[in-house]
């Protein structure tokens, strides 16, 4: 039974010994390990670790970037039945001390001197830590080596032991065979937004079962290849790269360093790729800027063919019926623009790409899809061992996170919270019965804390954190973040704050994006002296009214959201700022605080006034305070009622 990762490793070494298992760029050259070589190395590493005293059930901290030694540590520990605990390499010492102390690690395998220093600083708080292994020796020569070892040295030691003593070899193989699917295979600590992080216990059998399902879902084989650049301690890396590689036998390439990921992406040309929306956004911005610097001919060619791709590309990707002329034009565009562009981005060979984590703008999403990149959304959690839903190939619906993945059972409570049962579902939180009981229902479903709904085709839409979803006075659902996100997808709108809790209708305040709108104003000869002046121009109100109307159209198309259309809006006279307490340091709007601070404006939004006066205290960058007074205009927005477009009174 192939129910542990170590057994899977040995199976690959038997079935596809000469296929590449892992690559790493070092000193400018890509080095490759085949499955046979990797299995041999990890067997030796396991022997070396056992010699150091690592035992079944003990925990091992793994702290570093995506390097072969880090993945090998996870595998070698699992081989022995020990439990790897990957930790974010950029965690501050205090956070690291908590995780290492909570997990009671006796062993830590770290990347370099920086991490060794961090461990030295917190060693009093991690009393059980007795052995530290490092990957890169640089800077560590003068350290006390009584408890410090090089990973390469331990692997060598293991090799020698295996070669010289048949008893050791037999014991190592027996340890691997003793492992079974019920073993805890890893503890992943989730970065809790509130309170201390929780250790999510995952079992080998469930992890492998979950990975088998998605490997089949996306038809991954040993011909596929990924570039591993996501944080090692994040479920995304452990699932998408580690677990899927060991199930399907594809090759994991480790970048040369964190700064070279883009270049390495181009060199490897992965076939499976994951990135959060902001990466896709940054790439598109860079492409756009470069194209603006290009010559007139190239620019026109680019604009023409991107327009063509926007019109037909997604249809072609989804296999819909497309006129022959469009197909020919797209083919030419591929030759001249799309293929070279994808090559520069390192996306030439991508078969499956995913994004997740935050909402992705429909424009951004369809830009990549129109180039022929099979970009999809997934929704998942550490507790689920990743997948809860995903878009199947050819069934993409922008704005949703897709259908339930195979063998995942989703239920939505009356309050709108999403619950699931999944094949990879966690065993519990480490040493935290109480929070486990809070999260798992008696029927065995896991609470996500997210509110969502299914559309008629079974696509799930995630609205917001369940506790943030409110109600209008009529009882209709009011999800402020959902509405705000839709507004913020427009480049002209920088921030949005929606109000409506216990009110008759929804209103909102907007911040325009000074760069985007300012650029537009310059091109249209609209003079302005300041943000305040530009924000109050009737032309700018007209633009925003158009955006709000479009959002309302989108909301009206969703039965649950139709009542939450924006009736009235205003453009704030100043930009929301963390220094004034209007936003958090992570750039999230503080709705309650804003409602209080701008009470006259909120009142005016609801009492039908056409303008309101406001004066607010602001803090300048040097700490001085001043007062901004302004008269802010308020406008009604076009809403959709019973299928007709009309202007609300």
Q: Which of 53, 57, 127, 139 binds other proteins (CB under 8 A)?
A: 139
Smallest gap from residue 140 Cβ to other proteins (A): 8
- Tell me if 256 contacts other proteins by CB under 8 A: yes
Closest distance between other proteins and the C-beta of residue 148, in Å? Answer: 6
Is residue 260 close enough to count as binding other proteins by CB under 8 A?
A: yes
Residue 124 interacting with other proteins (CB under 8 A): no
Q: Which two tokens stand for residue 349?
A: 């060979």
Told to check if 531 binds other proteins by CB under 8 A, we report no
CB burial readout 216-252, b (16+ within 10 A) else e: eebebebebbbbbbbbbbbbbbbbbbbbbbbbbbbbb
Which stretch of DSSP H or E encloses residue 100? helix 93-102
Shortest Cβ distance from residue 265 to other proteins (Å)? 13
Pattern 67-106, binding to other proteins, x per CB under 8 A? ----------------------------------------
For the CA atoms of 97, 103, 108, 111, the dihedral, rounded to the nearest 10 degrees, stands at -60
Closest CA to 201 of 216, 186, 180, 218: 186
Per CB under 8 A, the list member of 30, 88, 143, 531 interacting with other proteins is: 143
Q: How far is the CB of 118 from other proteins (least distance, A)?
A: 12
How far is the C-alpha of 179 from the C-alpha of 9, rounded, in Å? 13
490, 471 in Cβ contact below 8 A? no
Strands 470-471 and 566-571: unpaired
Judged by CB under 8 A, which of 164, 257, 515, 530 binds other proteins? 257
Rule CB under 8 A: say whether 191 interacts with other proteins.
Answer: no
Which of 29/167 has CB closer to other proteins? 29
- Site map for other proteins, 474-503, x if CB under 8 A? ------------------------------
Return the range that interacts with other proteins (CB under 8 A); candidates 145-153, 281-289, 375-383, 585-593.
Answer: 145-153
Give yes or no for residue 142 binding other proteins (CB under 8 A).
Answer: yes
Interface residue with other proteins, options 1, 92, 138, 624 (CB under 8 A): 138
Task: Tell how far CA 260 is from the center of its chain.
Answer: 20
Q: How far apart are CA 618 and CA 597, in angstroms?
A: 11
Q: How many CA atoms lie within 13 A of 386 on its CB side?
A: 31
Give the β-pairing of 83-87 and 59-63: parallel
CA–CA gap between residue 378 and residue 366 (Å, rounded): 15
Write down the least CB distance from residue 137 to other proteins, Å: 10
Span of 139-147, 316-324, 440-448, 546-554 interacting with other proteins by CB under 8 A: 139-147
343 sits near other proteins (criterion: CB under 8 A): no
User: Which listed range, 113-121, 244-252, 338-346, 478-486, lies at the site for other proteins (CB under 8 A)?
Assistant: 113-121
* Binding flag, residue 289, other proteins (CB under 8 A): no
CB of 620 to other proteins, least distance (A): 25
Cα–Cα distance measured from residue 431 to residue 445, given in angstroms and rounded to the nearest whole number: 20
Which residues, 12 to 31, sit near other proteins by CB under 8 A?
A: 26-29
Binding segment for other proteins among 140-148, 369-377, 421-429, 627-635 (CB under 8 A)? 140-148
Terminal-residue alpha carbon distance, the chain: 69
The single-letter DSSP state of residue 425 is -
List Cβ neighbours of 572 (8 Å cut-off, separation of 6 or more). 509, 510, 511, 535, 598, 601, 632
User: Mask of contacts with other proteins, 148-177, x by CB under 8 A?
Assistant: x-----------------------------
Shortest CB 116 distance to other proteins, Å: 8
Q: How far is the CB of 228 from other proteins (least distance, A)?
A: 17
DSSP-based three-state secondary structure for 200: strand
> Which of 118/459 has CB closer to other proteins?
118
Interface with other proteins by CB under 8 A: which range of 81-89, 259-267, 428-436, 487-495? 259-267
Range 347-381 burial, b when 16+ CB lie within 10 A, else e:
bbebbbbbbbbebbbeebbbbbbbbbbbbbbbbbb
**Binding residue for other proteins, selected from 141, 523, 585, 625, defined by CB under 8 A:** 141
Reduce the DSSP state of residue 519 to 3 states and report it.
Answer: helix
Size of the site for other proteins (CB under 8 A): 23
Across the chain, which distance is largest between two alpha carbons, in Å? 89
Among the candidate windows 115-123, 225-233, 271-279, 411-419, which touches other proteins by CB under 8 A? 115-123
267: contact with other proteins by CB under 8 A: no
Does 144 help bind other proteins (rule: CB under 8 A)? yes
Nearest alpha carbon to residue 518 among 508, 529, 505: 529
Q: Which is nearer to other proteins, 136 or 582 (CB)?
A: 136
Query: How far is Cα 206 from Cα 423, in angstroms, rounded to an integer?
Result: 6
- 282 sits near other proteins (criterion: CB under 8 A): no
| Secondary structure class of 472 (helix, strand, coil) | coil
**Half-sphere exposure of residue 82: CA atoms within 13 angstroms, side-chain side:** 29
The residues in 396-455 that bind other proteins, with binding defined as CB under 8 A, are none
User: Is the Cβ of residue 28 or residue 442 nearer to other proteins in the bound state?
Assistant: 28
Other CB atoms within a 10 A radius of the CB of residue 97 amount to 19
Catalogue the E-assigned strands of 530-581.
Answer: 566-571
Gap between the Cα atoms of 538 and 188, Å rounded: 52
**Least gap, CB of 264 to other proteins (angstroms):** 10
Q: Is 120 in the site for other proteins (CB under 8 A)?
A: yes
Please give the helix or strand (H or E) that residue 62 lies within, else none.
strand 59-63
Contacting residues toward other proteins, per CB under 8 A: 26-29, 117, 119-120, 123, 132, 138-139, 141-144, 146-148, 256-257, 259-260, 263
């Amino acid at each position: 039974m192939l129910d542990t990762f170590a057994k899977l490793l040995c199976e690959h070494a038997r079935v596809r010994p000469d296929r590449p298992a892992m690559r790493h760029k070092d000193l400018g050259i890509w080095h490759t390990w085949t499955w046979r070589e990797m299995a041999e190395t990890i067997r030796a590493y396991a022997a070396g670790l056992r010699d150091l005293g690592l035992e079944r059930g003990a925990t091992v901290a793994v702290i570093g970037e995506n390097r072969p030694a880090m993945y090998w540590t996870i595998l070698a520990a699992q081989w022995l039945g020990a439990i790897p605990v990957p930790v974010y390499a950029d965690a501050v010492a205090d956070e690291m001390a908590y995780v290492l102390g909570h997990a009671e690690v006796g062993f830590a395998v770290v990347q370099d001197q920086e991490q060794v220093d961090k461990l030295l600083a917190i060693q009093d708080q991690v009393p059980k830590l007795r052995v530290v292994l490092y990957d890169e020796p640089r800077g560590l020569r003068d350290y006390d080596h009584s408890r410090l070892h090089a990973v390469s040295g331990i692997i060598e030691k293991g090799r020698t032991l295996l070669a010289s003593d048949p008893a050791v070899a037999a014991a190592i193989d027996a340890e691997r065979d003793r492992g079974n699917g019920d073993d805890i295979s890893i503890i992943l600590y989730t970065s809790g937004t509130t309170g201390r992080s929780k250790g999510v216990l995952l079992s080998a059998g469930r992890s492998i079962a979950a990975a088998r399902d998605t490997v089949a879902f996306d038809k991954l084989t040993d011909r596929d290849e990924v570039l591993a650049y996501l944080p090692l301690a994040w479920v995304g890396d452990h699932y998408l790269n580690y677990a899927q590689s060991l199930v399907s036998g594809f090759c994991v390439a480790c970048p040369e360093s964190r700064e070279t990921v883009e270049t390495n992406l181009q060199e490897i040309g992965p076939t499976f790729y994951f990135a959060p929306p902001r990466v896709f956004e940054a790439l598109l911005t860079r492409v756009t800027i470069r194209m603006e610097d290009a010559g007139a001919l190239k620019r026109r060619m680019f604009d023409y063919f991107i327009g063509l791709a926007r019109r037909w590309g997604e249809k072609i990707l989804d296999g819909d019926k497309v006129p022959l002329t469009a197909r020919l034009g797209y083919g030419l565009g591929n030759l001249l623009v799309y293929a070279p562009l994808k090559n520069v981005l390192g996306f030439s060979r991508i078969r499956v790409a995913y994004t997740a984590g935050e909402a992705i703008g429909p424009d951004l999403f369809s830009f990549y899809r129109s180039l022929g990149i099979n970009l999809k959304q997934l929704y998942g959690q550490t507790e689920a061992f990743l997948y809860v839903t995903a878009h199947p190939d050819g069934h993409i619906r922008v704005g949703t996170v897709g259908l339930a993945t195979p063998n995942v059972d989703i239920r939505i409570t009356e309050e709108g919270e999403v619950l699931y049962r999944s094949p990879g579902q966690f065993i519990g939180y480490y040493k935290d019965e109480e929070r486990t009981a809070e999260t798992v229902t008696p029927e065995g479903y896991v609470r996500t804390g997210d509110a969502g709904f299914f559309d008629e085709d079974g696509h799930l839409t995630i609205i917001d954190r369940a506790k943030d979803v409110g109600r209008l006075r009529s009882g209709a659902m009011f999800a402020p973040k959902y509405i705000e996100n839709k507004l913020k997808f427009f480049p002209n709108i920088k921030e949005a704050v929606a109000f409506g809790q216990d009110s008759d209708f929804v209103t909102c305040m907007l911040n325009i994006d000074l760069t985007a709108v300012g650029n537009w104003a310059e091109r249209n000869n609209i003079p302005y002296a300041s943000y305040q002046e530009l924000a109050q121009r009737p032309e700018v109100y007209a633009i925003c009214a158009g955006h709000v109307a479009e959002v309302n159209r989108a909301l009206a198309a969703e039965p649950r959201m139709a009542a939450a259309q924006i009736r009235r809006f205003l453009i704030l006279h100043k930009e929301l700022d963390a220094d004034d307490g209007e936003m958090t340091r992570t750039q999230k709007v503080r709705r309650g605080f804003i409602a209080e601070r701008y009470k006259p404006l909120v009142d005016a939004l609801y009492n039908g006034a056409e303008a309101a006066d406001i004066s607010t205290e602001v803090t300048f960058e040097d700490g001085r305070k001043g007062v901004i007074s302004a008269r802010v205009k308020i406008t009604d927005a076009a809403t959709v009622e019973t299928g007709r477009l009309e202007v609300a009174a």
